[in-house]
């Protein structure tokens, strides 16, 4: 059975990974994320999600082997049968989760060929995004999108 949320396309808009000379393989990095999402104006079933992921050392993770930032956008379609009042939650949680998985895999691939070996970002939970949405982000220039800004919690 297909998910009521289908990814139509995704693109990385920013990707940078820097090896930290004093970092050690197999050490964790602090990961922070932020996300914006909204439906395409005029089409309640088409949605755009933007996710930013930052990772690197902090006080507790001084020996993190890498620091970096990744931005990705994804375009999704919600099934017509999915209730209108539940679409924001579906897109906010599942859309961000799908994009984070793509980021996680790309970081793993790139760092696998880097000086300290592969870095696997931790699994994240985006379920609390809907509890406290923040103010909407500025409108897009190319596509008009109604957005909400979100920030997840690690699981």
Question: What's the pLDDT tens digit per position in 37-64?
Answer: 999 999 999 999 999 999 999 999 899 9
Q: Given this model, what pLDDT does residue 155 score? A: 45
Q: Given this model, what pLDDT does residue 82 score? A: 97
Position 143 confidence tier, pLDDT thresholds 50, 70, 90 = very low
Q: Given this model, what pLDDT does residue 137 score? A: 41
Average pLDDT in the chain: 86
> What count of other Cβ atoms lies within 10 Å of the Cβ of residue 83?
10
Prediction pTM value: 0.83
């Amino acid at each position: 059975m297909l998910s009521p949320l289908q990814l139509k396309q995704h693109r990385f808009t920013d990707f940078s990974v820097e090896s930290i000379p004093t970092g050690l393989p197999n050490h964790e990095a602090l990961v922070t994320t932020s996300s914006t999402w909204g439906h395409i104006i005029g089409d309640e079933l088409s949605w755009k999600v933007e996710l930013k992921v930052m990772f690197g050392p902090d006080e507790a993770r001084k020996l993190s082997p890498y620091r970096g930032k990744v931005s990705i956008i994804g375009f999704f379609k919600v099934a017509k049968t999915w209730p209108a009042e539940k679409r924001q939650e579906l897109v906010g949680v599942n859309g961000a989760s799908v994009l984070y998985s793509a980021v996680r895999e790309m970081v793993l691939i790139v760092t696998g060929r880097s000086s300290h070996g592969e870095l696997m970002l931790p699994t994240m939970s985006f379920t609390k995004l809907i509890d406290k949405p923040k103010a909407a982000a500025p409108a897009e220039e190319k596509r008009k999108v109604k957005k909400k800004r979100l920030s997840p919690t690690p699981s």
